[in-house]
Amino acid sequence: MPSPEEFPTFDDLHVPSSILQYGPSEGESALRDVVAQRLAARGLDCSAEQVLILNGSQQGIDLVAKLFIDPQSHIAVESPTYLAALQVFKFFGARFVRMPRDLGNCSAEMLAHCAFAYAIPNFQNPTGKCYSPVERDSLASACDASATPLFEDDPYWELNYESVDTSPVCARLERAPWIYQGSFSKSLAPGLRLGYLVCSKNLLRHFVNLKQAADLHSNRLSQWIVLHTLTDPERPAHLESMRERYRARRDAFQLSLRQSFGAVANWEIPRGGLFFWLTLNQQFQIDSRDLLERAIERGVAFMPGEPFFATDGDRSGTIRLNFSHASEHAANRGLKILADLICHPGATPPTHKR
């Protein structure tokens, strides 16, 4: 969950009545132009005619699954990876091929029999990992050599807190088909439920047909709001101040983690995105889904790590923690409670007087 303090305001928004009518399935032409321009500036050669506006990037995952997955299709995925993508792929009958954690070792042979490769190169959900240039090149080369389509999911690229390469892997492809999708949920507001998909020219008509069958077109009012915000001259300054505040929250969260989890878990400081990914030390290895039930009783919520893994054999004591939403005080208090539950699993929870 992004911080509500970072949401834009729309007090001066003057919406034309035409926006309240049905619209094109592909999305508003002006917004598609802006999306294409933004991606071209990041190195991805595309036109507005290759852009499809989505009702949230989750719709993009659904459309790609419908187009590419048959029962028993093999999909190459990171492990761990975005759990809602795994859920959709499993629903359509996919089986998973795990890509190496070091994508510099990705090979064409590994991808050869896959319907597509699904990757989150920038500040990955759940680990916060950002691919190195070598890993980006390696994945692109493997897809090209095996003619495996690449499905690149990139909702966090604007939330970078250090200088790091966030260029699209799709921009490195020379032969393989590609689908790139992004979201306005993390950098604007999730309640707008708006994202976008950009793809190889020969794929777009298939995605448009699937979208027409699902919902005709995306919310036009949300599209108008997003277009208004992206073209606002104050947008770059607002985005930079948002990064600074998130960076401060990340750093404060890291200090609290050191105090509460220094002897309990290992982690890396994310260079962007919204998450810390913790791996519990050997003596504290537990199923974090069981921990969640006890934590909620103490007023603490977190994401167990197990559902993010593609296969059961990968699972270990892992936890995803979000640093963007809670205040510094609330995060510090919650981490202390969570660490105490891990270190003293049989302890009786304190009673609270009214």
Handedness of CA 181, 185, 190, 193 (dihedral sign): negative
Whether the pLDDT of residue 348 is over 60: the answer is no
pLDDT, residue 16, reads: 83
> For the segment 256-274, what is each residue's pLDDT rounded down to a tens digit?
999 999 999 999 999 999 9
Q: Give the residue among 143, 122, 109, 124 at the shortest CA–CA distance from 78.
A: 124
- Its pTM stands at 0.93
Say whether 96 sits in a helix, a strand or coil: strand
Write down the domain spans for the chain: 12-230, 236-343
Same topology for domains 12-230 and 236-343, yes or no? no
> For the segment 199-225, what is each residue's pLDDT rounded down to a tens digit?
999 999 999 999 999 999 999 999 999
Tell me the C-alpha distance between 94 and 87, whole Å.
10
pLDDT, residue 232, reads: 94
Write the class of the CATH domain 12-230.
alpha beta
Whether the pLDDT of residue 349 is over 60: the answer is no
Query: Residue 144: how many CA atoms within 13 Å on its side-chain side?
Result: 13
pLDDT, residue 353, reads: 42
In CATH, what is the architecture of 236-343? Alpha-Beta Complex (3.90)
pLDDT, residue 345, reads: 80
Tell me the C-alpha distance between 94 and 76, whole Å.
10
> For the segment 74-111, what is each residue's pLDDT rounded down to a tens digit?
999 999 999 999 999 999 999 999 999 888 889 999 99
